[in-house]
Structure 1
Amino acid sequence: MKKNPATQRQHPLEIAVLIVNTHGRPIDMESFSPALLVFNLLLYLLTYVAATDSLTAQDPYLRDGFSLVSSNGNFELGFFSPGLSRDRYLGISFKNRRGPTSVWVANRNTPINDSSGVLVINITTGNLTLYSHDSTTIVWTARLLRKISNGVLQLLDIGNLVLRNRKDENPLNYSWQSFDYPTDTLLPGMKLGWDLKNNINRRLDAWKNPNDPSPGNLSWRMELHEYPESVMWKGSQEYFRHGPWNGMRISSNPLVRSFLYLNFVSDENEVYYQYSVPTLFPEISAMVVINQSNYLLMMYVWSATERQWKIYNLLPRDICDYYALCGPYGYCDIREAPPCKCLEGFKPRSADSWTAGEFSDGCERNKLMNCGDEVGFAQLYELKYPDTKRTWVDKSMDLEECKQKCLSNCSCMAYANTDISGSGSGCALWTGDLIDLKLIPHAGQDLYVKMLASELVKRGEAQKIDRLKPKVKISLAVVVASLGFAILFIGLYIFKKRSNVKDGHEKIEAQDLELPLFDLSLINSATNNFSIDNKLGEGGFGPVYKGTLTNGQDIAVKRLSRCSGQGMNEFKNEVILIAKLQHRNLVKLLGCCIQGEEKMLVYEYMPNKSLDFFIFDRTQRQLLDWSQRYHIICGIARGLMYLHQDSRLRIIHRDLKASNILLDMNMNPKISDFGLAKTCGGDQTEGRTIKVVGTYGYMAPEYAFDGRFSIKSDAFSYGILLLEIISGKRSRSFCHLNDQNVIAYAWRLWKEGNPEELIDDAIRETCIISEVLRCINISLLCVQQNPNDRPTMSLVVMMLGCEIPLSQPKLPGFFIKNEAISRKISSSKDKSSSTNELTITLPDPRRR
């Protein structure tokens, strides 16, 4: 039984009377029999101890200060105040676990402003009601499916709060259950979807913020189309669509091994998804939380060894998950740059928009198709099924019957099996435009798109290219011939490779870069012939210019300096890496220009310059309040998490700093400068180099001294950047008393118990102190001396987005500047720029 500290100031008899007073009314102490009081108090305590997980007709009250605990001790029902709020809410939470523990809130829209809350079971009707102010104000009431007598309210071991008739022979015959009314969390066994019989829509709605559990504008719910699917909504706009169930998995899911079971049910009574943890893993807990702070659906798994929640999965995963990114008849391929392509037989509806990187207008047919034209179907592979709003479904049809049905309907644009298991079965027809297509290599489904017969003839063998899978029998003669061609090709390649080496550097062939190519004359015109007035800055790569294309789009052009030997290698490195990256917090590469000796990269232009332009300038820092700084902090963390965990290649940036964080017109942060980045394959998370490159003041000690780089060395640089954003002080040139750098200063203040002194004066009066202190804690965790102690960026994202308890940081990796170190470390030119400035280090080989 959990006591409320507020009651400790009351007279013991008053406390006892408060407990046994079943009417919630004041009792005259003089007229109350002490013997009766003691008897009732003992009876109450015996009843409570015997059933700490339940309320019954004999004990129908739960007051603020007391709680119910599930028999396995995992869940607790009681009153709480979230975050910094003083309001009181009745909710279910994980007991004795650090992290995002609240899983359900009863009165999320109607808080109680004091500790007068009491939950009551009506003995006669079985109604479940939450009162405040001495049982005079109804705050919340349960919607019962049926009236019951002799009711019992029980908190089950799975976290479900249920109300049932104690004498009912069916223990699952609930009159009401919290699992039917989720808030922001989906637990194993809960259902996301519809109870059609009782008209209950089980959906998730994010908390408005960590201090307010009322619904925000981010929700996740099941859409009851002919072909049902779950959709995340951002207000009234579709944000992310999971795709329909295909008989084996959700249409958008990649083929990944998971310890969780996913179940889908669709019948006349219910339509829902449900996940569960196999009985083989009783020690594993999981939950799915929809988060308003970062607009993500986050799956957590409890780590028993680390005693904390770990992020298992995030949705949306990448830019291709955003709803209808490529418009009608366009599909998204995260491996390509730009990611949007038109289906074969289609072209961009607005060529200018696509050139400018705006794809929402989508695609249109090369030739208009009318009813009565001779048509056929192009079989496309590995796709997430289109939006199912306008679908017709018949689960009894086979694929050939489905094809004929589509042929007979002029409005039908595509068809597919509803169940891909075995040889496939069922029929789904799409009428109207095909929207929100995504390529899912090795895991997507076959989709048959209606096309003019003349277009199909043109396609011919092209159907066998790229994402279209041919089934070809290869004869021995073909194998021999292929080997001969392969040997010839390798010989030519080696010859070409050798001939392409000039002055110690390889030439770059434009066709090898897999990027849109800009003509040199277009770049000359856009930059006014590289006018000095258009110059934005200069790094080791070369100068950077602002340009304006003929369609009015502003661009930033990095021009490789002809005298830059190191720049050539970094040019190639940046092209190879960033051409394959697509994330809202990474700078966007639009294309390149390679003509003669000219080699240039064309990026989106960032009108708000770089982060260092704001935080290190006395005037400009006033324009960057705490909410904007926190937004930038979270965005950088998400971008790094993508590089380390979610991109096709694991990428370690190695030069993360304020001047490499660019800000778009909405002050969204974009990580730039991938010239020094390194890739790791598979599960590799670290590497070693004899060339230590980067920027002094941001490098982790193990990288600076031993050349060991890893995702944890990037985390170290992020911690430094976090301290700079909070303090407004530059790490490299910092000096305060005996503190030689910003880490030492922050660590001293932390140990002295005065971390708030680190806060920039420009935000000190208006910031949320608890939020800033949390960020300081995270930054010190990131800069710990031992790389193994530092958090991963996925954990940093979780710590920023959720009110989980944080551990105390250990000794940080102090960076002492001296001549010996300076000779070993190649510091880059750290210049502010208003564009995608590439800051390059000229490395000296390390002698061991």
Structure 2
Amino acid sequence: MTIFLAILVIISMSKLSYGADDTITQSDSLSDGSTLISKDETFELGFFNPGSSPYRYLGIWYKNIPVQTVVWVANRDNPIKHSNSSKLIINKQGNLVLLSSNQSLLWSTNTTKKSSTPVVQLLNNGNLVIRDESDGESFLWQSFDYPTNTLLPEMKIGWDKKTGINRLQTAWKNWEDPSLGDFTSSMSLSNNPEVVVLKGSSEFYRTGPMIGTTSSGVYGMQDNPIFKSEVVSNEDEAYFLFTLKNKSVISIVVLNQTLMLLQRLVWIPASRKWSNYLNLPHDTCDGYNICGPYGKCVIDASPICQCLDGFKPKSPQQWSTMNWADGCVHTGNWSCGIKSRDGFLKVSGVKLPDTTNTWVDVNMTLNDCKLKCLQNCSCTAYSSFTSNEDSGGCTIWFNDLKDLRDSDSQRNLYVRIDASNIGDKHDYTKMAILVVSIIAFAFIVILLTLYIYKKKIKNKENKNEGEHYNLDLPCFDLATIFEATDNFSNVNKLGEGGFGPVYKGKLQDGQEIAVKRLSRSSGQGLNEFTNEVILCSKLQHRNLVKIVGYCVESDEKMLIYEYMSNTSLDSFIFDPIQSKVLDWPMRLNILYGIARGLLYLHQDSRLRIVHRDLKASNILLDQYMNPKISDFGLAKMCGDDQIKGKTSRIVGTYGYMAPEYATDGLFSIKSDVFSFGVLLLELISGKKNRTLAFNQNDHNLIAQAWRLWKEGVLYSLIDDSLTDTCIQNEALRCIQIGLLCLQHHPDDRPNMTSVVLMLSNNNILPLPHEPGYLYKNIRDEGEVSSEIQTSSSINNVTISQLDSR
């Protein structure tokens, strides 16, 4: 019996020594040299020395990251100095305590919550908790309530108003001393919650008011496919947290006192190091109250500090020496009350001021908000509580407006100014303005009448033009598109192509759309627009972007497509962070989808189509990451028996154009096959064909792939972000298919039927011949005919040029 008990004790001790468990009970202890490991083996709890420090600390770090990254420290202000025989236990009161070798207390959880069977557990998210053995959901204490310098996903920064706990992020003094620094980050308790970073007791940086997942001023807070930020403020708590949408990504937010920065770091497995994704403060204007009260910091201006309209420097002499601390003052005097003649200056694109002394009513209309501000002589400004001014909500400021800067914010600030700045005019001046206004109005009426008359004629012509093409598509009126895109607001702008900008919109039935608007400032693109309308109306395939309709009215010509929530392929594969979203199965699916879409264009559709501008930015991704080929403005229709053609006007994008097309204007379905080969290499390597620096023998990605093929080390072309998910044999086979598509002579290249078959089976592949563009760049080619007008781009933006002949 004694031997049996001894074996049980040894087994119990060995569990912690080898990190095979994630829990400690009252009968267990954790000694120096032993660790506690979360179930999924992401985090580890144990004793460590920071850097070269001789002191020992109890902390939590990432288990599988070779660079020890400590995310939480227990005894940060009371290190173990003289012995390695300290241990961690659960005492009789149910507290987790750290004892020195002489049993003196080094650290304790000090919770008053009790349990008859308490256990300590290290969770998969890095949270160390005390809970009842029979209750896995309710925590008696948790490390997430006591952050150190690191914010983990799901960890809250802010206040628990019921318990009074302030979850405060506090920097280490330096990388070898985790004791409390004087650099802290917390959530304000104002009516408008915001994250504030303090240096000692002084404000150092603040995000600006934050509601839901947005902030009025913080750079890099926007949602993306990697992580999502969230702010909650209610009667029980006010906090900020972030979560990871892509669970394969490791990201933390660290308060760094040495660099005086709040940093978002992302772990890059390929390089085995942390990558700096975001620094706050982001620039000089991010510093707290750089320009003083009523001063606005504009990072691209010179000088960067400017007084708001209706204000002047408090100390012109100091202002002229770039000492802006005193800020600005009013140029006149306020009047008070409901009959006040004071007005408000609308300031857009600004981070809202410090919210320390504000008043909020989430139900008040913006007009009532204005009236309430006018009635209070202490009111200096007001704003909508959210970015949508029609949804209600009011914020009023009562003190000087501090810490204003330029921003991408969608919220407007209405700053109180006196009547003299609004425009107190004499009666004579008013009469003169009235007379001029009447004359101008009459002139405008005449012009408007002529405009409406011409517009009716033009619309009739446009309608007839649409009927001439026999399009089986709805024709939207201009008013509908204006409403859907919020008058083509810059907020809805998705990007700009060779023929004009593209906007996101929403129709009255809730359908989200993308509107491609032909640029009116250029004579280019009309033929391409017509071409795209005709083609898209007749093409239907799961891997082609779907056209919803078109608009031809006045001078406007627009195509309306289904909206693709994940934008284009190039925004993923060429971004070091976004590329991690696309694992190997996903990239392979995208490759298949593009190949099937091209096969449909070349062979299976009612028309025989050569796309002529296949590239990463023209591959759109839907919400499920399915690829859709887009932008048919340059596409050419061929007859059933026509497989090639020649043009004197070359359009497209350098780096993707086949050599025979770029030099001689010869195009065919094999031109698209060449472009597909380039796209395939970019998708697998994560590199652009033309914009990366290769060695002296490699002018581009094609040349690099060919050299690696001949050297037998083709695997080194594979994107580092695919290390964990890539099936190497599949990737190498795909690269070989890409080289077959890139062969210099069009007749050597496979057609898309063969490409689809090669991608879907394991049959032996033929050996590729030498690809095009191997030895020099296309812009250096001397064989380009002087009779051919080339019009293309090396920066992935398609350019079209109308032939003058």
What TM-score do you get using the length of structure 2 for normalisation? 0.51
Name the CA distance, whole Å, in 1 between partners of 2:275 and 2:413: 36
Tell me the residue number matched to 2:129. Answer: 162
Q: Give 1:245 deviation, angstroms.
A: 1.3
Higher-Rg structure is 2
Helix, strand or coil for the counterpart of 2:390? coil
Tell me the residue number matched to 2:169. Answer: 204
Name the CA distance, whole Å, in 2 between partners of 1:251 and 1:112: 44
Name the CA distance, whole Å, in 2 between partners of 1:367 and 1:43: 79
Tell me the residue number matched to 1:220. Answer: 185
Written as runs of structure 1 = structure 2, the 5 A alignment for 1:101-500 is 101-113=69-81, 114-122=83-91, 124-134=92-102, 136-144=103-111, 146-168=113-135, 171-254=136-219, 256=222, 258=224, 259-278=226-245, 281-371=246-336, 374-421=341-388, 423-441=390-408, 443-457=409-423
| Contact 2:148/2:170 (8 A) holds in 1 | yes
Q: Give 1:46 deviation, angstroms.
A: 6.2
The one-letter amino acid paired with 2:311 is F
Tell me the residue number matched to 2:554. Answer: none
Name the CA distance, whole Å, in 1 between partners of 2:21 and 2:186: 34
Helix, strand or coil for the counterpart of 2:368? helix
Q: Give 1:127 deviation, angstroms.
A: 1.4
Q: Give 1:309 deviation, angstroms.
A: 1.6
Q: Deviations over 1:716-760 (max 9, x none)?
A: xxxxxxxxxxxxxxxxxxxxxxxxxxxxxxxxxxxxxxxxxxxxx
The one-letter amino acid paired with 1:229 is E
Q: Which moved more, 1:42-51 or 1:321-330?
A: 42-51
Name the CA distance, whole Å, in 2 between partners of 1:195 and 1:219: 17
Helix, strand or coil for the counterpart of 1:214? strand
Helix, strand or coil for the counterpart of 2:423? helix
CA distance 1:44–1:293, change in 2 (3 Å): closer
Q: Give 1:421 deviation, angstroms.
A: 3.7
Q: Give 1:305 deviation, angstroms.
A: 3.0
Q: Deviations over 1:102-144 (max 9, x none)?
A: 000000000011212111012x43111111024x200000032
Q: Give 1:42 deviation, angstroms.
A: 3.6
Q: Give 1:438 deviation, angstroms.
A: 0.8
**Percent of pairs with identical residues:** 41
Helix, strand or coil for the counterpart of 2:412? strand
Question: Which ranges of structure 1 fall in alignment gaps of 5 or more residues?
Answer: 1-31, 461-473, 482-644, 646-681, 683-707, 714-787, 789-848
CA distance 1:274–1:47, change in 2 (3 Å): closer
Q: Give 1:216 deviation, angstroms.
A: 1.1
| Contact 1:252/1:444 (8 A) holds in 2 | no
Pairing partner for 2:64 from 96, 104, 125: 96
Q: Give 1:40 deviation, angstroms.
A: 2.6
Helix, strand or coil for the counterpart of 2:319? helix
Q: Give 1:52 deviation, angstroms.
A: 1.1
Name the CA distance, whole Å, in 2 between partners of 1:362 and 1:50: 58
| Contact 2:18/2:34 (8 A) holds in 1 | no
**Count of residues paired in the alignment:** 439
Written as runs of structure 1 = structure 2, the 5 A alignment for 1:418-817 is 418-421=385-388, 423-441=390-408, 443-457=409-423
Helix, strand or coil for the counterpart of 2:259? coil
Tell me the residue number matched to 2:633. Answer: none
CA distance 1:160–1:364, change in 2 (3 Å): same
Q: Give 1:308 deviation, angstroms.
A: 2.2
| Contact 2:387/2:410 (8 A) holds in 1 | no
Name the CA distance, whole Å, in 2 between partners of 1:145 and 1:404: 50
Q: Deviations over 1:501-520 (max 9, x none)?
A: xxxxxxxxxxxxxxxxxxxx
CA distance 1:257–1:160, change in 2 (3 Å): closer
Name the CA distance, whole Å, in 1 between partners of 2:67 and 2:86: 25
Name the CA distance, whole Å, in 1 between partners of 2:694 and 2:322: 33
Question: Which ranges of structure 2 fall in alignment gaps of 5 or more residues?
Answer: 430-443, 452-574, 576-616, 618-689, 696-716, 718-805
Q: Give 1:251 deviation, angstroms.
A: 1.6
Tell me the residue number matched to 2:52. Answer: 84
Name the CA distance, whole Å, in 2 between partners of 1:711 and 1:369: 61
Comparing both chains, which one has the higher relative contact order based on Cα–Cα distances under 8 Å and sequence gaps of 6 or more? 1
Name the CA distance, whole Å, in 2 between partners of 1:444 and 1:400: 18
Q: Deviations over 1:652-704 (max 9, x none)?
A: xxxxxxxxxxxxxxxxxxxxxxxxxxxxxx9xxxxxxxxxxxxxxxxxxxxxx
Q: Deviations over 1:7-60 (max 9, x none)?
A: xxxxxxxxxxxxxxxxxxxxxxxxx9877644532454368779511111342x
CA distance 1:424–1:320, change in 2 (3 Å): farther
Name the CA distance, whole Å, in 2 between partners of 1:82 and 1:346: 52
The one-letter amino acid paired with 1:335 is D
Q: Deviations over 1:408-428 (max 9, x none)?
A: 111001001111247342111
Name the CA distance, whole Å, in 2 between partners of 1:214 and 1:221: 18
Name the CA distance, whole Å, in 2 between partners of 1:476 and 1:133: 96
CA distance 1:384–1:332, change in 2 (3 Å): same
| Contact 1:125/1:149 (8 A) holds in 2 | no
Q: Give 1:332 deviation, angstroms.
A: 0.6
Name the CA distance, whole Å, in 1 between partners of 2:260 and 2:336: 43
Q: Deviations over 1:49-77 (max 9, x none)?
A: 79511111342x00011000111111100
Name the CA distance, whole Å, in 2 between partners of 1:326 and 1:43: 63
Q: Deviations over 1:778-823 (max 9, x none)?
A: xxxxxxxxxx9xxxxxxxxxxxxxxxxxxxxxxxxxxxxxxxxxxx
CA distance 1:166–1:296, change in 2 (3 Å): same
Helix, strand or coil for the counterpart of 2:207? strand
Q: Give 1:303 deviation, angstroms.
A: 1.8
CA distance 1:74–1:444, change in 2 (3 Å): same
Name the CA distance, whole Å, in 2 between partners of 1:257 and 1:276: 10
Supply the RMSD in Å over aligned alpha carbons.
Answer: 3.3
Tell me the residue number matched to 2:42. Answer: 74
Helix, strand or coil for the counterpart of 1:392? strand
CA distance 1:712–1:68, change in 2 (3 Å): farther
The one-letter amino acid paired with 1:321 is D
Helix, strand or coil for the counterpart of 2:380? strand
The one-letter amino acid paired with 1:266 is S
Q: Deviations over 1:245-284 (max 9, x none)?
A: 1455012134855231111111111110111001xx1211
Name the CA distance, whole Å, in 2 between partners of 1:167 and 1:450: 60
Tell me the residue number matched to 2:505. Answer: none
CA distance 1:234–1:444, change in 2 (3 Å): farther
The one-letter amino acid paired with 2:284 is I
What TM-score do you get using the length of structure 1 for normalisation? 0.49
CA distance 1:42–1:415, change in 2 (3 Å): closer
CA distance 1:42–1:191, change in 2 (3 Å): closer
Name the CA distance, whole Å, in 2 between partners of 1:711 and 1:78: 44
Q: Give 1:324 deviation, angstroms.
A: 0.5
| Contact 2:223/2:229 (8 A) holds in 1 | no
Name the CA distance, whole Å, in 2 between partners of 1:115 and 1:45: 18
Q: Deviations over 1:278-313 (max 9, x none)?
A: 1xx121111000001110000011223333221111
The one-letter amino acid paired with 1:327 is G
The one-letter amino acid paired with 2:49 is S
The one-letter amino acid paired with 2:314 is R
CA distance 1:199–1:331, change in 2 (3 Å): same
Q: Give 1:224 deviation, angstroms.
A: 0.8
Q: Deviations over 1:342-389 (max 9, x none)?
A: 000001111111110111110011113243552111111111110111
CA distance 1:139–1:477, change in 2 (3 Å): farther
